[in-house]
Amino acid sequence: MAKELLKGNHAFAEAAIRAGCEAYFGYPITPQTEALEHMSKRMPELGRVFLQAESEVAAINMVYGAACAGVRVMSSSSSPGVSLMMEGLSYIAGSELPVVLVDIMRGGPGLGNIAPSQGDYNQIVKGGGHGDYRPIVLAPASVQEFIDLTVEAFDLAEKYRCIVIILADGSLGQMMEPAELPEMREVRRFEERPPWSLSGAKGRTPNVISSFYLDPLNEEEVNRRLMAKQAEIEANEIRFRELMLDDAEIAVVAFGTSGRIAQSAIKNAREEGIRVGLLRPISLYPFPYERIRQLGDNVKEILVVEMNSGQMLGDVRIGIEGRIPISFYGRQGGVVPMPDEVLEEIQKVNSRSSAS
Amino acid sequence: MTDKKMVETLIYTKSESLTELGTHYCPGCTHGISHRLIAEVIDEMGVREDTIGIAPVGCAVFAYDYFNMDFAEAAHGRAPAMATGLKRVNPDKIVFTYQGDGDLASIGAAEIMHTAGRGENITVIFINNAIYGMTGGQMAPTTLPGQKTTSTPLGRDIEMHGFPMRMCEILSQLDGASYVVRRSLHNVANIRKAKKAIRQAFEVQRQGLGFSMVELLSSCPTNWGMTADEALKWVGESMVEAYPLGDYKVSPEIKGMKKGGGG
Amino acid sequence: MAKGRIVVKEMYCKGCELCTSVCPQDLIHMALDQLTPKGYHPAELVDPDGECTGCAICAVICPDSAITVYRMVPEDKVKTTTA
């Protein structure tokens, strides 16, 4: 398919449709509403399910219900709305259902604002809802990557019967870029729904989908199964991109939009002769700890850049294990850092590490 | 008397739509009666293999162990939203929720209102026993004024806690609701009427006529501190007075509907 | 009068006594000399004179589906129902 100019929110919604998403439930919230609007038109056209729920609480529980039926189902929202979904997400995680969610992060805490932010990192990447679980979290940095990761999210969710969250921000949702959409995939036929799904117990013993295990030993067994699944995910699903790290003395680590901004700054720094490279984690869970650990052997200092007060920073520290200095540059509350600001930080780190 | 040959015949036995498992409900708890009525209606309609239930949080949390059909467990109060999602991708299946008063009228008030408002083609069985059973007898949104609970030890004070919610009356105001009725389980005659209403509600769904809900006035002998018999008498006296029985909403399409076998 | 009998499944009976209060013939009593596996005194039919009609009212009120009801029926009218 040819490239076309696509807005992030429209692009991921259309990508989900083409990945065979059969049902979408959501609630309007800026800056992701265009996705819901796109779904409201396209899904009925294709004979699929779109429903605007009365709240994000209801939306995620509708997703939960449809996921029980074994269809490809998703929702999308933005930070405050995603907070409301945490209860439902925990139930979905405990019931081991495949679900895709997109969080177009905005400034917070509280009502915050509608500007781009990465303030939900801890909430989303570390679990979010109550109890012991981790969703797979993928962070795109361009509209094309947003499309590709959305399609992949459905496959991963079904492969591991888990939640996959695409963590993007308001600028990715709103920006327009040339990108290519995938081929249209038909929705699964009723007969092809998975054997665990709720479809009426015709000629079989009933299926029950629940996250309730009153006996702690049974609940522990479920937790161990989730842990085993996480180990498999950690072994197989780590994704990152890197740029100019081969000879780098400084490594910038940044995800999503911050990663993209850092990339511009790094190119400028290289022109000044600073040996700096970029590691951009794409899978935030599973996090590329091993690659970060290697960086600890190869560079002198790490600079973490985020649109928050230092959340992924904690994971970078885990990977570095205290071996080299880590500095942090962040803008908060919906402020997007400019490449020049990041360049200045790189220069500071460079003069410090050259002096040492 | 004729001299026809008489044979011993099975008149009543446990429904095929219930599993063999004994329930965890307290002795005399009417949850068991409600389960039985739903199961018998499903048997009689022959839809067990096409029915999907949604269990609540509350005493009936284990309903999925007792009904012999596909079942899911909802978060507290969210069963109608979950049923919506399930029904929209399974429009040919019968989907019902089973919810208590705390679940439906308190924490899930928004979900039930909007599910009814949308005219979602599902059936809701609403158990109103005026108390939180599972957590040990606290005030429910349907607790009667003056009624003692473990969180209203001096009796529900309307100055402090406000008034009980009458859900049939509220939901019947919504254009999307098709069949909204209240029945009681306090004696045999009323139990039989309750079963007819449940049948009607499932028939409404089967014929695609929209949202149906049967509220069942129920007992909680343990948390009310009564015997099973005393508790049913209290339902018949105090609860029926506070929550009048009747058909609060029967849409014109339903009135014109052919009577189902049990309707 | 129609002749009938009931069988109380001890696995299900919780001794709530509701059946004893609704039996029109007052034929159901608690078996105080017996305990169910769960530790309740079960209900039992005490019907020395064969007065049970198999009306199934006890089964209608039983919350635990513990009561199975049989009735003598003319051969040409045999039909199993639920209460």
Cα gap B204→B195, rounded to integer Å: 14
- We report the CATH number of the domain holding residue A279 as 3.40.50.920
Confidence of residue B262 (pLDDT cuts 50, 70, 90): very low
What would the DSSP string read from start to end of A113-166? -SSB--TTHHHHHT--SSSS---EEE--SSHHHHHHHHHHHHHHHHHHTSEEEE
Cα gap A166→A163, rounded to integer Å: 10
Residues of B in CB contact (< 8 Å) with A are 48-52, 54-55, 61-62, 64-65, 67-75, 78, 81-90, 93, 110-111, 113-114
Confidence of residue A354 (pLDDT cuts 50, 70, 90): confident
Tell whether A164 and A128 lie within a shared domain: yes
A57/B110 CB distance under 8 A: yes
Best of A46, A64, A97, A196 to mutate (most B CBs within 10 Å, chain B): A64
Q: Are B89 and A66 a contacting pair, CB within 8 Å?
A: yes
Domain assignment of residue A153, yes or no: yes
Cα gap A323→A296, rounded to integer Å: 6
Chain C window 50-69: which residues touch B at a Cβ cutoff of 8 Å? Answer: 54, 56-57, 59-65, 67-69
Can you give the residue range of the structural domain that contains A222? Answer: 4-201+211-236
**Of A333, A344, A238, whose CA–CA distance to A293 is shortest?**
A238
The widest CA-to-CA distance across chain C, in whole angstroms, is 42
Tell whether A24 and A123 lie within a shared domain: yes
Cα gap B255→A192, rounded to integer Å: 39
Domain assignment of residue A194, yes or no: yes
A49/B75 CB distance under 8 A: no
Mark A291-307 as b/e (b = at least 16 C-beta within 10 Å).
Answer: bbeebbeebbbbbbbbb
- We report the CATH number of the domain holding residue A65 as 3.40.50.970
Over the stretch A148-182, which tens digit does the pLDDT of each residue have?
999 999 999 999 999 999 999 999 999 999 999 99
Tell whether A289 and A197 lie within a shared domain: no
Tell whether A129 and A273 lie within a shared domain: no
Tell whether A59 and A111 lie within a shared domain: yes
Cα gap A214→A226, rounded to integer Å: 17
Domain assignment of residue C82, yes or no: no
Surface-to-core class of residue C68, CB atoms within 10 Å of its CB (0-12 exposed, 13-18 middle, 19+ buried) = middle
Q: Which residues of B touch A51 (CB under 8 A)?
A: 84, 88
pLDDT of residue C80: 59
Cα gap A235→B219, rounded to integer Å: 53
Tell whether A217 and A350 lie within a shared domain: no
Tell whether A221 and A316 lie within a shared domain: no
Over the stretch A222-260, which tens digit does the pLDDT of each residue have?
999 999 999 999 999 999 999 999 999 999 999 999 999
Domain assignment of residue A206, yes or no: no
Tell whether A23 and A89 lie within a shared domain: yes
A53/B81 CB distance under 8 A: yes
- We report the CATH number of the domain holding residue C21 as 3.30.70.20
Domains of chain B: 31-255 (3.40.50.970)
Over the stretch B221-230, which tens digit does the pLDDT of each residue have?
999 999 999 9
pLDDT of residue C2: 76
Unique residue bearing structure tokens 């994704």: A239
Tell whether A350 and A232 lie within a shared domain: no
Start-to-end Cα distance in chain C: 19
Chains C and B touch (3+ CB pairs under 8 A): yes
Mean pLDDT of A215-227: 97
Domain assignment of residue C27, yes or no: yes
Our count of domains for chain A comes to 2
Q: Å from B26 to nearest chain C CA?
A: 8
Instruction: Compute mean pLDDT per 10 residues along chain C, 83 residues long, and list them.
Output: 91 97 97 95 96 97 98 81 55
The widest CA-to-CA distance across chain A, in whole angstroms, is 76
Domain assignment of residue C34, yes or no: yes
Domain assignment of residue C32, yes or no: yes
Domain assignment of residue A95, yes or no: yes
CB-based contacts of A218, cutoff 8 Å, min separation 6: none
Strand order across the A276-281 sheet: A240-243, A276-281, A250-253, A301-306, A326-330
**Residue C21 — φ and ψ, nearest 5°?**
-85, -15
Domain assignment of residue A303, yes or no: yes
ipTM above 0.85, yes or no: yes
Can you give the residue range of the structural domain that contains C17? Answer: 4-76
In 10 A of CB A3, how many CB atoms?
11
Tell whether A52 and A162 lie within a shared domain: yes
Distances from the Cα of A104 to the Cαs of A25, A79, B215, in angstroms?
16, 7, 41
| Total residue length of chain B | 263
Tell whether A335 and A223 lie within a shared domain: no
Tell whether A184 and A251 lie within a shared domain: no
Domain assignment of residue C16, yes or no: yes
Domain assignment of residue C42, yes or no: yes
Domain assignment of residue A311, yes or no: yes
B229/C54 CB distance under 8 A: no
Over the stretch B49-100, which tens digit does the pLDDT of each residue have?
999 999 999 999 999 999 999 999 999 999 999 999 999 999 999 999 999 9
Q: What's the distance, CA A191 to chain centroid?
A: 31
Domain assignment of residue A114, yes or no: yes
Domain assignment of residue C81, yes or no: no
Our count of domains for chain C comes to 1
